[in-house]
C-alpha cells in the first residue's frame, strides 16, 4: 500500500514518492471527494478520489475498490494510477489516483449536446455501445459484474472512446440467494449501491431462492443505449433518424447517498 503525506507547499501532497499539486475540486458525494491535481513530475492532470473512512469496514471497501481496478488492464476500464491511505489521528482517508478525462462522462456529453439542440450521431452511439460491451465483456470474463452501470459512470476519452469507472459496487457475477434474509439483505444493498434508473427488475424485489447474475449489467446497458438515443421526454428525437429502434426506457442518474455496511455478497457463491 502506498503512503500519502502533506508537505510544506500549500495544496501539495506526495503519493508514492511523487508530488501532486491541487488544482480544483471536481465533485463530491456523501462520503467522498474528487479533486483535480497535477503531477509535478510529469505535468499530467489526474483525478484524486478521496474516500472518508470512519470504520475498518470502510477501509476494507476502499481497498476492495482499488483491488478491482488492479484486476483489469483494458482500454475500456479505468485504470488505477496509485492507491494509499492517509491518516489523520483516528480518522482515515483512502485515496485513489486516477487518470483525468477532460471530456467528462457520457452524461456530461449528452447534456452539452442537448444545450446546443444537438444529438449523438448513430456512428457515435454505435462506437460507444461497442466500447461499453467490450469493457463489460472483460469484467464478466473475470467472474464479476459492475452493478452500477450508468451514463455518469462512463468517461469519454479524447476520441470519444468509453471508459467504465466507479468499480466500488462490483462483486461476483453470480450470487446465490438462499432464504428471505439473504434476499432482503441483497435488496437493501442494491437500493444503496445500484442507481434506481438503471437497476435491473430482479434487484427491486429479490426472490427468496434465486440466482442474480451479470444480466443486471445487460439491463443497465440497454438503459444507457436509450439515454444516448432519446430526449428527456423519453421520445425519439426529431433528428437524426436512427436505423435501429430506440426503446422508451432510461432516465437521469441519481447519486448514491453514501456508504452503508451490508453482508459481503462475495461470500454467497453459486
Catalytic positions, please? 148
Cα 109–Cα 115–Cα 121 angle in degrees, nearest 5: 50
Torsion of CA 231, 233, 238, 239, to 10 degrees: 10
Pairing of strands 12-15, 91-99: unpaired
Q: Is-contact 96 66, C-beta < 8 A?
A: yes
Phi, psi (5° rounding) for residue 169?
A: -100, 0
Q: Pick from 90, 82, 7, 87: which is nearest to 49 by CA?
A: 82
Side-chain-side CA neighbours of residue 203 (13 Å): 25
Amino acid at each position: 500500500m502506498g503512503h500519502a503525506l502533506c508537505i510544506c507547499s500549500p495544496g501539495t501532497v506526495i503519493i508514492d514518492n511523487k508530488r501532486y499539486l491541487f488544482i480544483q475540486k471536481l465533485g463530491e458525494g456523501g462520503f467522498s471527494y474528487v479533486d483535480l491535481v497535477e503531477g509535478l513530475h510529469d505535468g499530467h492532470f489526474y483525478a484524486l478520489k478521496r474516500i472518508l473512512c470512519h470504520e475498518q469496514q470502510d477501509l476494507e471497501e476502499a481497498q476492495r475498490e482499488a483491488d478491482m481496478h488492479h484486476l483489469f488492464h483494458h482500454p475500456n476500464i479505468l485504470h488505477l494510477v496509485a492507491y494509499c491511505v492517509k491518516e489523520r489521528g483516528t480518522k482515515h482517508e483512502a485515496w485513489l489516483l486516477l487518470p483525468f478525462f477532460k471530456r467528462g462522462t457520457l452524461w456530461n456529453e449528452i447534456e452539452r449536446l442537448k444545450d446546443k439542440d444537438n444529438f449523438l450521431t448513430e456512428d457515435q452511439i454505435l462506437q460507444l455501445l461497442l466500447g461499453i460491451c467490450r469493457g463489460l465483456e472483460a469484467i464478466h470474463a473475470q467472474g464479476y459484474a459492475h452493478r452500477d452501470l450508468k451514463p455518469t459512470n462512463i468517461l469519454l476519452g479524447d476520441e470519444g472512446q468509453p471508459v467504465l469507472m466507479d468499480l466500488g459496487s462490483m462483486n461476483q457475477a453470480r450470487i446465490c440467494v438462499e432464504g428471505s434474509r439473504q434476499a432482503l439483505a441483497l435488496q437493501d444493498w442494491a437500493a444503496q449501491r445500484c442507481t434506481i434508473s438503471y437497476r435491473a427488475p430482479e434487484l427491486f424485489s429479490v426472490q427468496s431462492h434465486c440466482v442474480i447474475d451479470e444480466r443486471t449489467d445487460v439491463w443497465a446497458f440497454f438503459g444507457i443505449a436509450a439515454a444516448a438515443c432519446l430526449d428527456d421526454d423519453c421520445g425519439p428525437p426529431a433528428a437524426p433518424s436512427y436505423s435501429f429502434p430506440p426503446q422508451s426506457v432510461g432516465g437521469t442518474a441519481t447519486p448514491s447517498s453514501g456508504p452503508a455496511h451490508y453482508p459481503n455478497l462475495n461470500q454467497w457463491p453459486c
